[in-house]
Amino acid sequence: MTSMDTATLISPGQLATALAGPRPPAVLDVRWQLGGPPGAEEYAKGHIPGAHYIDMNADLAAAAGPAGRHPLPDPEVLGAALCRAGVDADREVVVHDAGGATAAARAWWLLGWAGHRRVRVLDGGLAAWTAAGLPLEQQAPAAEQGGFVPAPGALPTLDADQAAALARTGLLLDARAGERYRGEVEPIDPRAGHIPGAVSAPTMDNLRPDGRFRPAAELAERFAALGVKPGAEQLGVYCGSGVTAAHELLALHLAGIDGGALYPGSWSEWSGQPDRPAATGPDRG
């Protein structure tokens, strides 16, 4: 495991040790999946001791609308949720979901976008925690009084016009499943297809079968094959609504590639604008 992996990912055993220490991290349970059971209900059935539930739709996104299904949240709403969970600027934060880190990556990216610099992701999520034989609790912790104040803009974003331009002049990765990129299916958004010029890079290819991230060297090899070069400045990522695109940016970070921009509106915004073109098929463009 590289030093970058160590800095960004945390194992269940490492988290258990940290929680028993004198200054435990704030743990954010952000379980969510498209079309799945509500995360709050799953949290109530059992969660990591001391973990606070953070709601994807209410806390980590603004209301769905023309800007997409998960627009960036109001900074005050985000800040209030984080403070209830005990987040301070100088306190380490650990985020997790049920397993593959797709929702957790959204929280990781948002905290970075808001200016927090000490955020780690539980590799393998709650599934890895329970597989390690570590305990769960059902009682939710009392609300805390953290002092973190979001300062948005610390990480780059794209709007629709910038995403369209980047697909022509740089490299725009589409993090959705291949069949959605190719336009074979579209289960939720207005139209099928992808942004012309975008390259298919399904998020699930970042993970091993057990739901943990592939080693940094493998991720670097994967992204190199897609045309990503270390230090690339003309790089953007989108997905359906800006959630799994954050997972792609996390994987890029683990591979030593930073600077990629997130298109928060993603396909949910793009496909809702009739004047925006939609490409189909397996080829770039």
Q: Are 95 and 108 in contact (CB under 8 A)?
A: yes
Exactly one of 26, 128, 199, 239 is catalytic; name it. 239
Tokens of 236: 């953007």
**Residues sharing a CB contact under 8 Å with residue 185, sequence separation 6 or more, in sequence order:** 179, 192
Amino acid at 242: G
SS3 97: coil
Q: Are 163 and 100 in contact (CB under 8 A)?
A: no
Distance between CA atoms of residues 171 and 6, nearest Å: 28
Interhelix angle 244-254/216-225, nearest 10 degrees: 110
Distance between CA atoms of residues 34 and 177, nearest Å: 13
Tokens of 97: 């979901």
Q: Is 239 annotated as catalytic?
A: yes
Measuring CA to CA, which residue among 87, 94, 107 is closest to residue 12? Answer: 94
Distance between CA atoms of residues 179 and 267, nearest Å: 14
Q: Which are the catalytic amino acids?
A: 239
